[in-house]
Structure 1
Amino acid sequence: MIVTLIVICEVGFWVLLAAGLSLRYLARMPRLGAAVLLCEPLLEVVLLVVTAVDLKNGAAPDWKHGLAAVYIGFTVGYGHYTISRIDARFQHRFAGGPPPVLPPKSGPARARHERRLWLRTVVAATVAYALLQGAIWYVGDGGGDTSSLAGWQGAALKAALIHGLIALAYTLWPGKGPVDAGSRKP
């Protein structure tokens, strides 16, 4: 049931995003579009509540509950970033907006970009870790084996560490920045 709900939340995310942006730019109803986009976090609240109820009703904590926590963490860390990037593309494509700003390919600007993304990953991992720890405490000692949830905590920390190493590599070896159009050699 939890996996099905995660899939429903993911599909719901994209449906609400498409509906909100369509209302905002195609139907020219920006307030209604914004209201639809503000419904996005409700999906995660529903997932959190259903997961907690599932655990409270005696379900053995397993990988599905861990996946739900990591999904919620990812949404908290990257949800706004994802929506704003897609919003810029949608506005450009359907409403005559400016072209979306692409991430830099190399140089110090790329290193800054990677560090900002890493901070989002840290937020996602922290939220997932906290939710998983809350689930471990919620289930308690007599509620079953919580090693699967602890394993997901380790996975969240590893993801943040690996992404941190990638951001560090871009910082230490940024590569050459973009070449100025006026200084290109023939």
Structure 2
Amino acid sequence: MNFIAWIIVACEIGFWIFIIAGLVTRYIFNKKKAGLFLLAMTPIVDLVLLVFTSIDIYRGADITLAHSIAPIYLAISLVYGKSMIQWADERFLYYVKRDGPKPKRRIGMDYAKHSMKGSLQHILAYIIGGALLLFIIFYIGDSSKTEILWRTLKLWGIIVLIDNAISITYFIWPRKM
């Protein structure tokens, strides 16, 4: 496994450490601001990953799939961050602290709207992450070195289209219990 792959693993671990530490600080120790600060560090972890990736590429490393993941991680954190924290908050309160309402199971049009919101967020993440990937591609300026970045961008685009198509089907065939 190359250097960037190990950095991705470390950042993923760091991401979850900040999430858990933020929730514990927020709800077990009742330190709302400190907990929010820890939760807000999650995009910083992804930014660190992007910086390490950029440095690695700048130093002439062979570009791998691992390099193309960094912009995706950052974009996902920025776009989904608030909703991921809200999701974690609800479950932490209910399952760990036993002090909140049971997380609601969405069905019917409510589920369709929620799914479409997530799909629209996915489009936004694709735009941000895609712009970062394109910046790297054009900065390097050598198509033989950046082919994996192009393939990642294309594959992600297909995934975004499939995600949105699935969300549209929930309006046609609403999810039942």
TM-score relative to the length of structure 1: 0.85
Q: CA deviation at 1:175?
A: 5.2
Is 1:164 paired with 2:164? Answer: yes
Contact 2:112 2:175 in 1 (8 A): no
For residues 175 and 41 of structure 1, do their structure 2 counterparts lie closer, same or farther at Cα, with a shift above 3 Å needed?
closer
1:146 is paired with a residue whose SS is: helix
Is the CA contact 2:8–2:66 (under 8 Å) kept in the aligned structure 1? Answer: no
* SS of structure 2 residue aligned to 1:86: helix
In structure 2, the partner of 1:26 is 28
CA 1:57–1:20 in structure 2 vs 1: closer, same or farther (change >3 Å)? same
Shift of 1:146: 0.9
Residue 98, structure 1, aligned to residue 101, structure 2 = yes
- Which structure: larger Rg? 1
In structure 1, C-alpha distance between the alignment counterparts of 2:83 and 2:175, rounded to whole Å:
25
In the alignment, structure 2 segments of 5+ residues that lack a partner are: none
1:31-55 deviations in Å (ceiling 9; x for gaps) = 2111211211210111111111111
Counterpart of 2:41 in structure 1 is 39
Of stretches 29-38 and 161-170 in structure 1, the one that deviates more from structure 2 is 29-38
Quick one: distance in 1 between partners of 2:112 and 2:8? 33
Q: Deviations over 1:115-156 (max 9, x none)?
A: 111112112222221111011012123x85211100011011
Q: Secondary structure at the match of 1:80?
A: helix
State the distance in 2 between where 1:174 and 1:110 align. Answer: 8
- Aligned residue in 2 for 1:138: 139
- AA matched with 2:37: A
Partners of 1:150 and 1:144 in 2: CA distance: 10
Give % identity.
33
Query: Would you identify which runs of 4 or more consecutive aligned residues in structure 1 move more than 6 Å?
Result: none
Q: In the alignment, which residue of structure 1 is the partner of 2:109?
A: 108
Amino acid at match of 1:4: W
TM-score by length of 2: 0.89
Q: Which amino acid aligns with 2:150?
A: A
Aligned length: 174
Structure 1 residues without counterparts, runs of 5 or longer: 179-186
